[in-house]
Structure 1
Amino acid sequence: MIDVISHIRLYDVGVSPRTRWLFIEIGTTSEITGLGEASLQGREIAVKEAADRFAPSLLGLAAKPVARRMRDETLAEAAFISAVDQALHDIAAKRESKRLVDYLGVAQRECIPLYANINRRTIDRSPAGFAASARLALESGFTAFKLAPFDEVDEAARHAGRIVEAMQPGLDRVAAVARVIGEFDLMVDCHWRFDEISARVLIDEGRAPGVRWVECPVPEALEAIPVIRRLREFANDAGMRLAGCEELIGLEHNRPFAEARAYDVMMPDVKYAGGVGEVIRLAGLLEQCSVACSPHNPSGPVAHAASLHVSAAMAHFDRLEVPFEESDLFWRLVGDSLPRFKDGHSALPEAPGLGITLDRDVLASTSEQVGDWSLASAVR
């Protein structure tokens, strides 16, 4: 008998005033359950609306991963579809009693190199606050650290033509982190806040503190590819790599940036790119184009587990982003099923599928079930 999707549930987990995680749980007629994550910061309502549109049509379908052409979806729709793909891969691997990485093929590595994103845990946005976060990550064994320091480079500053002036507090934060970490890798995320001229100023100013990675300096439209290429060359001359494309959907949206070698590093996200299979395919494309692949992964424990397996499965891999100690919910929600960070690396979960289970008591106390679709209800 064909195992089909019998129910889909969507959970909204309150993590902090700044962060929410969206988890998807898919159940089957054979009573195998799979997990996925669709977190999209600040756009949770749009993801829930996408779930309302798509979830009912999935009920009764075979519970197996299906390659999808990801091209015309909104980011919220892509987040839901990607989470479904994660959950279906989780189910498929469990059905064969394999870890997800082994279901995907031969593991290329068992220990995953990481870098620490210290941005969301830093509530005190002063230079001292960022320095304190960097020190904790350093003491935990990390050797690469990323922050998004340019809070003041907002729409008002851009509209007023004050970008360079507004970036100065961010540069102070970067300098404070640099003093803590010394010669280790200093990575700066710009969140698309700059234009070409101000991005060049940023790169120039980043030489002194030893910035080695500049991420998403300008908005990523196709017409911006020549600008991004020029910035990459300028960054390379300054001893830095340029990274981006964390929110691009599917192979074909990523292809022009990869083939143009706009970036040194591209960052497909298992939550947005289309899921597990699409990120593996993207890694193959990046290898063909001689572009490094470093998966984007700043969210919750379900996406982290999926990203660990994907990072282990892909032949072409740089290192994996992890959210450093934003909340103890990252660990409490999955109990002992998710390996802790150790010396800037992570082992893989050992159980079948993603290898993690949600602690129902913790989930019940921290989340709201915001979607529930079942085959039984659909039949009635």
Structure 2
Amino acid sequence: MKMTQRRSVLQGLALSPLVMAPALSRAVAKDAGKLTISDMDVVHVLVSKRANGNGNWTLPRLKTATGLTGLGDASQSLNDDQTLVFLKRYIDMLRGRSAFDVEWFRRAVAPICAQNGGDYGRTPAAVAASAVEQCMWDIQGKALGVPCYELFGGRIHDHVRVYANINRSTNDRTPAGFAANARRAVDAGFNAIKLAPFDSMPHGLTDRTEIRKFMDSGIAAAEAVREVIGSERDLLVDAHSHFGLQDGLTLAKRFEPLKLYWLEEVTPRDPVANLAAINKAATMHTAGGEGIHGVKGFYPYVKAEAVDVIMPDVKVAGGMLELKKIAALAEGAGLTCSPHGPASPIGNAAAAHVMATVPNFEIFEFAFGEVPWRSEFVDPPEQVSNSLLQLPDRPGLGYTVNEKVAAKYAI
């Protein structure tokens, strides 16, 4: 059985502020003049025709009166048009304020996010807010001349380990198709592979014969991938909340021979007791939480021991500061943190800068093979080698958009 350590310090940690970089940043920047936010534009590019158009990149670029700009990732809200509406609303709120006013912004948008999704974060309101917050940190790092990880306590991980999520780049959804794409990921140097082999199964399916058919097919795909990648590499499976409690327990049992690194989001997160029951019974680690917004949203999830590995998404959870707070909440409970992030290089960088400073960081998501021009979309090009994401040491997030590539694929 799994060996996990829990510590009962959740209540105090969940609600206590983290004393981190904002105060120091403000003090250092004081003599340089106030970095007043003045405007914003948006880089919007076509990336994926899969996932009902939910794979495109929406990247706001916040501008200051001093000429500095900051990037963020507002992708995958399920409604890009509405995300743009909220981005405009937020820039109107911020215009004339300092780029260091992260906590002010966090509190100002909290009621808006609560009214438009609550603790569920994959909404235009929450995704737009998360992206603007990322922009503010990018500007802060540039103003101070340091990478963003220095603003979150300094990095303790030189590199950020990533796994190849092959799901969106696998068009042939048969076991052979998944296996072939897994082979490409291995050839590219990845030592951890994730697939989501149950996506063709309708949510809420009740027909027992059909459920068994989809379960068998998904397990066969995972078996095919395991055969290709061998036992020395890690295999991760995402069930995308397709199953109920009893089928989830069955699924976890049937996956035991494959020795998964983790089994992700078997059931919907509500009721949380279902995930906790599966976590208690499973012999492999379980993971989840990609759709949750805010540290308060994660608190009952962590308290119930719903999973072993929490997966906040920097684009959904509230941004970089919120990601740090959520990771600290998990650390106090003896859990590890592995952010969800089939994102652009900008979104991945935002999460990776924070994770480089997090003691309980485990592994991070990388959307493998989605587009051939991914690394060239940013300057300097995004670098992944041997399943390690190399963080640029330039100020801020470390990237600018390659305008030629962005123009070529602009929506």
TM-score by length of 1: 0.91
The one of 360, 369, 380 equivalent to 1:325 is 369
The one of 15, 20, 23 equivalent to 2:56 is 20
Partner residue, 2:402: 359
Partner residue, 1:246: 290
Partner residue, 1:376: none
Structure 2 counterpart SS, 1:208: helix
Give distance in 2, aligned partners of 1:3 and 1:246: 33
Does the CA contact (< 8 Å) of 1:295 and 1:319 recur in 2? yes
Specify the code of the residue in structure 2 equivalent to 1:206: F
Q: How does 1:258-277 map to 2 (within 5 A)?
A: 258-277=302-321
Unaligned 5+ runs, structure 2? 1-32, 118-122
Give distance in 2, aligned partners of 1:350 and 1:52: 31
Matched, 1:305 2:352: no
Give distance in 2, aligned partners of 1:123 and 1:275: 31
Identity of aligned residues (%): 34
Matched, 1:60 2:60: no
Q: How does 1:1-380 map to 2 (within 5 A)?
A: 1-18=33-50, 19-40=55-76, 42-67=78-103, 68-69=106-107, 70=110, 72=114, 73-74=116-117, 75-155=123-203, 158-161=205-208, 162-183=210-231, 184-221=233-270, 224-236=271-283, 240-338=284-382, 340-368=383-411
Give distance in 2, aligned partners of 1:286 and 1:305: 21
Structure 2 counterpart SS, 1:94: helix
Give distance in 1, aligned partners of 2:81 and 2:212: 34
Structure 2 counterpart SS, 1:158: coil
> Which segment is superposed worse, 264-273 or 211-220?
211-220
Give distance in 2, aligned partners of 1:185 and 1:199: 21
Give distance in 1, aligned partners of 2:266 and 2:390: 32
Give distance in 2, aligned partners of 1:41 and 1:188: 23
CA displacement, residues 278-320 of structure 1 (integer Å, 9 cap, x when unaligned): 1011111101011111111111111011122111122221111
Does the CA contact (< 8 Å) of 1:47 and 1:79 recur in 2? yes
Does the CA contact (< 8 Å) of 1:152 and 1:169 recur in 2? no
Shift in Å, 1:108: 1.0
Specify the code of the residue in structure 1 equivalent to 2:99: A
Give distance in 2, aligned partners of 1:143 and 1:213: 14
Shift in Å, 1:193: 1.0
Give distance in 1, aligned partners of 2:401 and 2:149: 20
Does the CA contact (< 8 Å) of 2:74 and 2:128 recur in 1? yes
> Which segment is superposed worse, 157-166 or 322-331?
157-166
Specify the code of the residue in structure 1 equivalent to 2:400: T
Equivalent pairs counted in the alignment come to 361
Shift in Å, 1:277: 0.6
Give distance in 2, aligned partners of 1:13 and 1:95: 28
Does the CA contact (< 8 Å) of 1:141 and 1:343 recur in 2? yes
CA-based RMSD: 1.6
Structure 2 counterpart SS, 1:176: helix
> Which segment is superposed worse, 90-99 or 170-179?
170-179
CA displacement, residues 95-129 of structure 1 (integer Å, 9 cap, x when unaligned): 00001111222211111111111111111212111
Structure 1 residues 105 and 209, CA, compared in 2 at 3 Å: closer, same or farther?
A: closer
TM-score by length of 2: 0.84
Structure 1 residues 218 and 46, CA, compared in 2 at 3 Å: closer, same or farther?
A: farther
Does the CA contact (< 8 Å) of 2:178 and 2:225 recur in 1? yes
Does the CA contact (< 8 Å) of 1:337 and 1:349 recur in 2? no
Structure 1 residues 43 and 167, CA, compared in 2 at 3 Å: closer, same or farther?
A: farther
Structure 1 counterpart SS, 2:102: coil
Give distance in 2, aligned partners of 1:219 and 1:101: 33
Structure 2 counterpart SS, 1:191: coil
Give distance in 2, aligned partners of 1:302 and 1:358: 9
Give distance in 1, aligned partners of 2:189 and 2:358: 25
Structure 1 counterpart SS, 2:183: helix
